[in-house]
Amino acid sequence: MREKVGFELFDRALKIWRPAEIKGARLVFKMKGNRPRAAYLFFMIKTQNTAYSEAACNLRRSEPEELFQAERTHRKELGPEGLVTCAVRIATHDCAYATLAVGVGGAPLILRQRNLWLEQTETTGRHVGRKQKRPTLAHLASHKLELARRRSQMGRIPRGESAHVRLGGHIRNMAKDRYRQQARRIINFALNVEDTIYPLTEGPYPRADVLLLESMENLIPKAELERGVNKAMVAFNRGHLVSHLKEVAAEVGVRVFEISPLGTAQVCSRCGALGRPYSVRSLSTDQPISITFGPAEALFACPSCHYRSNTSHNASVNLHNRFYSSRTMESFITYLRQPVEQRREILRRIEAELTSPTAGTLSLHHMHGVKIGEYILTSG
C-alpha cells in the first residue's frame, strides 16, 4: 500500500482529532499445513505532534538562573501578554497540585486550581462509581521488600536465569500505571479536556501554553518521606513521571520548563515575605490541639500580609512567580545567607508573630478555634 497523508485519528484521552499518516501495511496469512487459516492486516500509523501556540512560540526565555549566583543581575522575564501557564507541584504521596494562570502585565493571574489525586472509579461490581486510591508508593515499597526477601532465600541466581518474574513484572506494571495515570491527569487539567466553564467569561478555561514543573534534582526533603518509602523510591517515581510528562506535552503542543522549587513553600506567594508552613493536629484523643511548624507541613501562613493558604497551593503559585521573575525568592535567599543561629532566631520570631494572642483574629490559634488555655506550640 502506498503512503497516504490526510488521515485523522481520534485521541480519546484528549478528545481531539490528530493528523495521522499510514506508513505501510501488509497482509499476513497464518498457515495450517498448505492452506491459509486466517489473514491478519498489519499497518503502522504515525501521528503528528500538535504545534506550539503562538504565545509559546514567541516566548523568549532561557533556563532559570541559579538562586545563589548573586553576582548576576536579576532580570524580569516578561512573557507574551496572555501566556497561559500551568504549574504543578508533584507531591511524594498520591497527588499533585496544579494551578492555571494567565499572564497579565508581566505577572500571573490565577484562574483555577485543583488537587489531582491518583484514584480510579469503579465501573463494575457492587460499588459502581465509588472512587478508590491507586497503588501508593508504600504499597510498591512493600512489594519490593517482599521480592528482595524471596530472592535472598534462594541464594545466588545463576547467570542468564531469573527468579520471581511474575512478582517483578507486577511491580513494574504498577509503577508504570501509576506515573502514566498521573501524567494523564496533569495534561488533562492543563488542556481543560473536560471543558470546565470559567464563571467570569462563561466560556471554557483556556488551554495551557507552558507547563511548569519542579526541578527536584538532589532536592527531596526527608520530611516529605513516609514510613517504608525511601528516597530512591520517590526519585524513581518522580523521574519517570516527569519524563513521561515531557513526552506527552510534546505531543499535545505544550512547552515544558523546570523551575527550581527552593523556597517556594516558605515564601508568601502574595507579598514575597518569608512565611512558615504549619499544621494543626491533636496528638491523641485526650491531648489538646497543637500547632506544629515544619518545612513540609500542609498549611502556610505569612506574618507580613497575614495570608493563609494550603502549602501546595502557595508553592504552585510561586512556581508561576518564579517563572516570570527570579526576584520573588529574594527573602528566602537572604534567609539562607544568614548564620545558622540567626536563621533559627528568624524562624522563632515568625512563629511567635503567627501565634501571639495579642494578634487577635489574625492569630493562628484564634483562626483554628484553639482556646488559649489549651494551646500548645511545637516546632519541627
pLDDT tens, position by position, 103-152: 888 889 999 999 887 666 666 667 676 666 666 667 777 777 888 888 77
pTM of the model: 0.78
Q: What is the structure's pLDDT at 231?
A: 57
Per cent of the chain over pLDDT 70 is 76
The Cα–Cα gap between 10 and 198 comes to 26
**Pairing between β-strand 35-47 and β-strand 84-90 as defined by DSSP bridges:** unpaired
pLDDT tens, position by position, 237-288: 677 888 888 988 988 889 999 888 888 889 999 988 999 999 887 766 666 6
Boundaries of CATH 3.30.420 in the chain? 76-123+130-155+168-259
Q: What is the structure's pLDDT at 206?
A: 92
Looking at every residue in the chain, the average pLDDT score rounds to: 78
Domain 76-123+130-155+168-259: which CATH number of 3.30.110, 3.80.10, 3.30.70, 3.30.420:
3.30.420
Angle (CA) 151 154 155, round 5°: 95
Q: What is the structure's pLDDT at 363?
A: 80
